[in-house]
Amino acid sequence: MSHQSDQAQALPFPILIGDIGGTNARFAIVESADKDAGEPRIVQTASYANIDDAILAVLDGAPVKPRSAVLAVAGPVEGDEIALTNCPWVVRPKQMFATIGLTDILVLNDFEAQALAVVALGDDHMEKIGSGEPEEGAGRVVLGPGTGLGVAGLIHALGRWIPVPGEGGHMDIGPRSQRDFEVFPHLEKLEGRISGEQILCGRGLVNTYRAVALADGKTPTLTQPAQVTAAALAGSDPIAEEALSLFVTCLGRTAGDLALVFKSKGGVFLTGGIAQKIVPALKQGNFRKAFEDKAPHRELMASMPVYVITHPLAALAGLAAYARTPSLFGIETGDRRWRA
């Protein structure tokens, strides 16, 4: 890519960056290419009728007024009205020119931002799970169980890191062990099938807990993901312990499948609040065992490192890196960028 198109790729500073999830929206301002992002502001999506009101509240009293924005949203980025999957907000970039005074807006998928973060963050924000060493410039995979299951690949080509967003959280997932065949019939299905999101996200963990209880003829009593993880990690509820163990095993299998797809010798990165909370469970061994159990490629899998990203605002760090130096990344802006 020429220097001229690098210039075209850059957004005018100051740049508002935003990571907009189903529950929380996180914002910061990047003033210039040689400055770190300013103090992050976090708001709950339920507190504001729309994203414009939330941004205006965040900018109220801010030391600088942004001219442009890079927003990462939890949902597919299509058309001039971008609906969020797990929140009633709709992003309307053309409207933001008038309401917020922006002149240039780029909207990305939230897992593209997570993929950018893998490049932006150093080792001090990673917790390693098991063995393996990263190969420089090799493919990488990011997956995050949260409100849903987000997945993105990251490949290095032509001197740039290129995020590959998709809907990998909706791949089929099936039983394998004898115990799986007892539990899986009790999992709640989505239109007749079990996809990754039916197990590997917050509501999926509760779904798994229910299925384990029902498989043994017991009555499930816990209804929130945090209750299941807390009881499992405390060792106070055998059903919750088994549910978390199955969750971790299925996460290992899915992470391994994705690692095979991308041949991700650069590493597999688990992101989001759930992964951060269950690090002790991930380190117990069944995650790595399931991850590596991919004959005939067991040796290849054992050589791939897995990390939990421990940075609390990883996606914002990725967006800040892109805002400062877009030329490091191969992001096709195309019909996802609006200029006034």
219 in a labelled binding site: no
- In the numeric block, the tokens 């095993």 are attached to 249
Tokens 């005074």 appear where? 101
CA 68 to chain centre: 24
Is 20 one of the annotated binding-site residues? yes
**Burial readout 107-137 (b: 16 or more C-beta within 10 A, e: otherwise):** bbbbbbbbbbbbbbbeeebbbebbebebbee
Lookup: tokens for 87: 């929140």
Distance CA 273, CA 21 (A): 12
Residue 23 assigned ligand-binding role = yes
Cβ contacts of 166 within 8 Å, gap of 6 or more: 151, 152, 153
Name the nearest CA neighbour of 38 among 28, 49, 51.
28
Identify whether the C-beta of residue 268 lies closer than 8 Å to the C-beta of residue 143: yes
- Which residues are registered as beta bridge partners of 150? 144
Q: Would you say 22 is a known binding-site residue?
A: yes
Is position 18 annotated in a ligand binding site?
Answer: yes
Question: Per the annotation, where are the binding residues?
Answer: 18-23
Question: Per the annotation, where are the binding residues for ATP?
Answer: 18-23
